[in-house]
Structure 1
Amino acid sequence: MKTLGMIGGTSWHSTIEYYKLINELVGGVIGGDQNPPLILHSINIQLMREQNHEKIKKAYLEISKKLETAGAEAIIICANTPHLVYEFVQPQIGIPILHIAEAIGRAAEKRGLKTLGLLGNRPTMTGDFIPYYLKKHYDIDTIIPEEKYLDKSHYYVSKELTLGKFTDEAKVFYLEQMENLNHRGADGIIMGCTELPLLIKEEDSKFPLIATTQLHAQLAADFILG
């Protein structure tokens, strides 16, 4: 098995989910009495809340280099938003970062989805790190909620979901946003916050959901197993 470096902490709730899923997925192949070699670095989520992109990029580069030196053969960033560092960090290290949009693209392509609605916090929805990758590598278009809904989505992610709080109000809000995105042309929905699949399950929605955590963990398991 290959050794995987994990950068978590944004939030620790989703990091636990990543760690659990990767172990379960690998164990499902090699046997539950074994587990994969993982190196975890958990950052303080406050780094992301400051929204200083230059500081965030430098921190993730430093951590990535440490993981590479420690023996990691690839890196997985256990959240959506920190992938904003990908274009900065990847050229400066010698091992691959398993991009979350690669997992999204593979799943969408398999299901024949060509336009995806993107839900998450404001930086994830308004950033180009997921839409750019999907368009470049899979010719998939991405749309986001209308401007008037972005702050509310950001609030639910940053003040509730990443703190392990899952409310009926948040669930209703996101189900309504899925309806709106579908009416505007989305044939599938990216759950662009790693805690969103903990709030809304596939059976809760009438639209195809791209649950990034599960798919990203599968990408990691596939890498570990070669």
Structure 2
Amino acid sequence: MGNYYYPWIDACRVLQLLGSVMLRSKSPGLSALLPLLAVAGLSFLGSSWSFTMQTIGMLTGVSYVSGIDYYRGINERIAKLLPNGHIMAKNSDMVIVSVDCDEYVRLLTAKDSEGVQDYLANGVAKLHRAGVDFLVIASNTAHICVGLVRERFPDLPVLHIADCTAAAARGAGPVGLLGTEPTMRDGSWLKERLALHGVEVVVPPAEEDRQRCYKIICDELSFDKFTDESRRFFAEMARKLHGEWGGSGGVILGCTEIELLLRPGDVPEVPLFRSAELHMDAAARVQAGQVSLESFMPSEKAAPA
């Protein structure tokens, strides 16, 4: 973890506002307070409190494309959330472990649930040994390993992507879910977690559509390839989910690569819940000390032990 200094920015802004009011005032009494206010302002500007930035452990590689997006996105957010350092904007304190997407997809395709969980948890073990403060998995489907991760590393908090997505989708009504074939077909690691927040999901009913989604993700999006044809297909899926298939509340883009292809402007009539963007927002805010990781979790009664 790195130690940084976070000035009392809000207090300084209040002092600045009071000074502005006094300068505009014709009252001699108020004007006489200006020197004292200047001293107080300088004192506040020179004051600081020690802020310990938490270290994010990011598991990625599934795919590397979303991992790059996460790394950039979290750092850009941290630069905005924290004041500048001595010379430039702050970076996120982060440890990254990247696994082999081919091996991961091979295990998923073979429906080897135990194998894929173990494979991913072995990657998390490296982050745990590095002493990270909380875990961010840069993939919806890879959250399949969260149960095993909690068993093996009970002292490692997990910022679950479903919790972050639910914070935006809660109360919207039934929502559609677009993702990998395993996530749409089963997806208990995602759907059940969303359900704990009261979020009900529907998926494309035809296996053919779910398989095409998966093929595009594996063959194109995971290699940074984005085509208009695939964009039109996902836009059609989003419209149908929002309409005839019952996702009246909007559509969750439940694969971190899909939202790099399908943008809100492509389907302006469909509310999109962009899971990766929501996850990155939450990770940066937790790391910056603005919110607690626990604030994203389901209620105590609903949360898993």
Question: TM-score, normalising length from structure 1?
Answer: 0.94
2:257 pairs with 1:195 = yes
Instruction: Return 5+ residue gaps in structure 1 as ranges.
Output: none
What is the CA–CA distance in structure 1 between the aligned matches of 2:204 and 2:246, rounded to whole Å?
12
> Which residue identity is paired with 2:144?
L
1:7 is aligned to: 59
Deviation at 1:184, TM superposition (A): 2.1
Coordinate RMSD, CA, aligned: 1.3
> Which residue identity is paired with 1:59?
Y
Deviation at 1:25, TM superposition (A): 0.7
Deviation at 1:92, TM superposition (A): 2.0
What is the CA–CA distance in structure 2 between the aligned matches of 1:223 and 1:64, rounded to whole Å?
19
> Which residue identity is paired with 1:214?
E
Matches within 5 A, 1:30-109: 30=82, 31=84, 33-50=89-106, 51=108, 52-93=112-153, 94-109=155-170
Q: How many aligned residue pairs are there?
A: 223
1:30-80 CA distance string (max 9 Å, x none)? 135211210000111012211232222112222222212211010101111
> Mean Cα displacement is larger for which, 15-24 or 52-61?
52-61
Higher relative contact order (CA 8 A, sep 6+): 1
What is the CA–CA distance in structure 2 between the aligned matches of 1:114 and 1:73, rounded to whole Å?
34
2:191 pairs with 1:124 = no
Q: Is the 8 A contact 2:99 2:123 kept in 1?
A: no
2:226 is aligned to: 166
Partner secondary structure for residue 28 of structure 1: helix
What is the CA–CA distance in structure 1 between the aligned matches of 2:168 and 2:61, rounded to whole Å?
25
Q: Is the 8 A contact 2:104 2:119 kept in 1?
A: no
> Which residue identity is paired with 1:36?
S
Deviation at 1:196, TM superposition (A): 1.2
What is the CA–CA distance in structure 1 between the aligned matches of 2:221 and 2:120, rounded to whole Å?
23
Q: Which of 205, 211, 215 matches 2:278? A: 215
> Which residue identity is paired with 2:100?
N
What is the CA–CA distance in structure 2 between the aligned matches of 1:72 and 1:107, rounded to whole Å?
27
> Mean Cα displacement is larger for which, 94-103 or 59-68?
59-68
Instruction: Return 5+ residue gaps in structure 2 as ranges.
Output: 1-52, 290-305
What is the CA–CA distance in structure 2 between the aligned matches of 1:152 and 1:33, rounded to whole Å?
42
Q: Is the 8 A contact 2:161 2:279 kept in 1?
A: yes
Question: TM-score, normalising length from structure 2?
Answer: 0.70
Partner secondary structure for residue 129 of structure 1: helix
> Which residue identity is paired with 1:207?
V
2:78 pairs with 1:26 = yes
Q: Which of 287, 293, 297 matches 1:224? A: 287
Partner secondary structure for residue 130 of structure 1: helix
What is the CA–CA distance in structure 1 between the aligned matches of 2:122 and 2:57, rounded to whole Å?
13
Deviation at 1:124, TM superposition (A): 1.4
2:173 is aligned to: 114
